[in-house]
Amino acid sequence: MTTTSPSDEIARPKLRGANLRLLIGMFPANVGMYLLWGAIPGILLPLQIEEIDPANKAGNLAVVATIGAFAAMLAQPLAGTISDRTRTRFGRRAPWIVGGALTGGLALVGLASANTLVQIAIAWTITQIAYNFAQGPLGAIMPDRVPAALRGTFAAVSGLGLMLGAMGGQIAATGFAENISAGYLTFAGITLIALTLFVLFCPDRDNRGEERRPFSLAALLHSFWFNPRRHPDLGWAFLGRLLLYLGYFLVSGYQLYILQEHIGLGDDAVAFVPVLGVAALVTTLIATVVGGPLSDRFGRRRIFVFAASVICAVALVIPWVLPTKTGMLLYAVISGFGFGLFQAVDTALITEVLPAQEDFAKDIGVVNIAATLPQVVAPGAAGAIVVALGGYSPLFPVGIALMLLGGLAVVPIKSVR
């Protein structure tokens, strides 16, 4: 595990040369990856499902999203275990990053032609598996190749790419509301190009000479587990991310339907999504650019993560008590700042509590279950709440409680300030 000390500050590496090239390269790679995650589950997939059965759209979206997210939850740790053991002239991550993007693009071709709920569920599940085989190894680049003292800055740039991609994807996807298939193909192409260019311009070293680690059934099963008693700091970091993401996806996963029914926009909801996206993007940029470098400068991560959780919780209060376009706009601005701050710092915090260098991708994959598991649980839970209580309003107080608990979970971490 890595801790910050005065000697670390004195020996702080410079952001130049290979470090600077990698920093620049990671930005478009993350934008390309998350454009897809913002566009498809947030806009294109709900619209496609709504076209098939408008009366049951909430329940159908919950089923499809839950199946796909469960597949993603299993795929990313497995991808990490496999890539940790990969030996090629291009390093251990590149083949999976490019291969996952290519396979995912082909799956989106299938999704574009799907016209039944079963076909959509199958195509979306394959899409999730493929792109998580790319995303898992991409996430391991930071602990692989970035000095610990620069990880706050790198996490800020990665978080900036994430949020810019996710929000930009939502905004851009609204332009394909009348041609969903074209949207799927467009985002598949962008992601493939972005990840391929990253691998070409930020190449890893040839690792064929490294010792080949055995791949066994035990290693496969270990892909989905770490011992929180042996590594309590990683356990607390996992719990914090899990709770905060759960609170976030409980509401954001149903944003389009919330706008349609809770806010009362009906068919005008799609046109309002870009407005929210732009508003959130501005504050996200500010929080991300400022938060990561500040956490590097002060050598502190936990206080920033806790502050982010409080800000996100406050944001959820507004549309709960003010179900109007103004309330949603304020929510977008404040939650954009809070979630941007969280993404900028939490990623750096995670890399500093990873137990073993030889298992970086596997452990990141396990920790990322904390981001994908909420996508498994949230749609079903949110759908049950909406159906049982007859509206979207109860989603907000539940999300608030989860956000605050997520911030409190990082307080017991000892190895990172």
CB of 96 within 8 A of CB of 195? no
pLDDT for the residue numbered 17: 78
Q: Mark the ranges of the chain whose per-residue pLDDT is less than 50.
A: 1-10
C-alpha torsion sign, points 242, 247, 250, 254: negative
Number of residues in the chain: 417
Burial 213-251 (b: 16+ CB within 10 A, else e): eeeeeebeeebbebeeeebebbbbbbbbbbbbbbbbbbb
Structural domain including 128 reads 17-205+219-409
The candidate with the shortest Cα–Cα distance to 350, out of 204, 134, 128, 148, is 148
On whether residue 417 sits in a domain, the answer given is no
In a domain, 83, yes or no: yes
Q: Please count the other Cβ atoms lying within 10 Å of the Cβ belonging to residue 54.
A: 9
DSSP 184-246: HHHHHHHHHHHHHHHHHHSPPPP-TTSPPPP--HHHHHHTT---TTTSHHHHHHHHHHHHHHH
- Statement: the pTM of the whole predicted model exceeds 0.75: no
Predicted local distance difference test score (pLDDT) of residue 11: 54
CA–CA gap between residue 360 and residue 380 (Å, rounded): 31
The answer to whether residue 6 sits within a structural domain is: no
Residue 238 C-alpha from the chain's centroid: 14
Question: Residue 175 in 3-state DSSP?
Answer: helix
Classify residue 11: in a domain, yes or no. Answer: no
pLDDT value at residue 6: 39
**Structural domain contains residue 211:** no
How far CA 392 is from CA of 46, 253, 260, in Å, comes to 16, 12, 11
Q: How many CB atoms lie within 10 A of CB 119?
A: 14
Within-domain flag for 58 = yes
Cα 95 to chain centroid distance, Å, stands at 21
pLDDT at 4: 42
Domain count, the chain: 1
- The answer to whether position 214 is within a domain reads no
Count of CA atoms in the C-beta half-sphere (13 A) of 99? 12
- Is residue 247 situated within a structural domain? yes
Give the CATH number of the domain where residue 335 resides.
Answer: 1.20.1250.20
CA distances from 29 to 138, 164, 200 (A): 9, 12, 11
